[in-house]
């Protein structure tokens, strides 16, 4: 069963679905509304090409079938983009590559959505989730710590000609 379908069983008031290239305009508009996020690792606003490449991008040693690029909608409004790589970097682990909430989504609602996602991943036999947070981000570290994640490593991530210092967080279920 597709991850979005399973996640929807535990969501209330919103609906998750896979985002595809049919959603390119929506993805670009949504990501362009988050200049502070992109300011952590590039010197220009996100371009349309950069935004929509997330639909297909997978990390080294991952395959496209491991990717779940999801949008959470409140009615017709996109309120959250979630980019997951399942069984990465090891079996039963999940890499959360992007958690981008709409500016209108409250911290409590984000927490509720994250906890419902964790329950969905646990039901699919995942045992741990990892993600990276840009150093200099003053909001995300506290949010993730409040959700039960622990900082485990600091590193530099290189993507093309872009590099960023990040802290890796993990949540053992």
Domains of the chain in start order, with CATH, are 3-172 (3.40.630.30)
∠ Cα 163 23 98 (to 5°): 35
Phi first, then psi: give them for residue 6, nearest 5 degrees: -70, -45
Which pLDDT score is estimated for 38? 82
* CA-wise closest residue to 70 among 36, 98, 104: 98
Which pLDDT score is estimated for 1? 58
What is the full per-residue pLDDT of the chain (173 aa) written as tens digits? 599 999 999 999 999 999 999 999 999 999 999 988 887 777 788 999 999 999 999 999 999 999 999 999 999 999 999 999 999 999 999 999 999 999 999 999 999 999 999 999 999 999 999 999 998 898 999 999 999 999 999 999 887 777 889 999 999 99
Which pLDDT score is estimated for 169? 98
* CA-wise closest residue to 57 among 15, 40, 49: 49
- Residue 96 buriedness (CB in 10 A; 0-12 / 13-18 / 19+): buried
Q: Identify whether the C-beta of residue 123 lies closer than 8 Å to the C-beta of residue 6.
A: yes
Which pLDDT score is estimated for 44? 84
Q: Identify whether the C-beta of residue 68 lies closer than 8 Å to the C-beta of residue 3.
A: yes
* Cα separation, 42 vs 35, whole angstroms: 10
Which pLDDT score is estimated for 39? 74
């Amino acid at each position: 069963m597709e991850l979005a379908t399973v996640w929807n069983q535990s969501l209330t008031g919103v609906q998750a679905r896979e985002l595809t290239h049919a959603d390119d305009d929506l993805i670009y508009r949504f990501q362009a509304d988050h200049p502070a996020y992109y300011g952590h690792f590039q010197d220009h606003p996100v371009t349309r090409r950069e935004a929509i490449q997330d639909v297909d991008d997978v990390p080294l040693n991952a395959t496209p079938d491991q990717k779940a690029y999801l949008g959470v909608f409140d009615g017709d409004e996109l309120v959250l983009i979630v980019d997951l790589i399942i069984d990465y970097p090891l079996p039963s682990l999940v890499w959360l590559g992007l958690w981008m909430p709409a500016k209108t989504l409250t911290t409590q609602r984000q927490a509720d959505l994250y906890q419902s996602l964790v329950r969905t991943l646990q039901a699919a036999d995942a045992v741990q989730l990892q993600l990276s947070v840009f150093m200099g981000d003053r909001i995300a570290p506290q949010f993730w710590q409040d959700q039960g994640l622990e900082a485990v490593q600091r590193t530099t991530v290189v993507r093309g000609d872009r590099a960023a210092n990040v802290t890796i967080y993990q949540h053992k279920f």
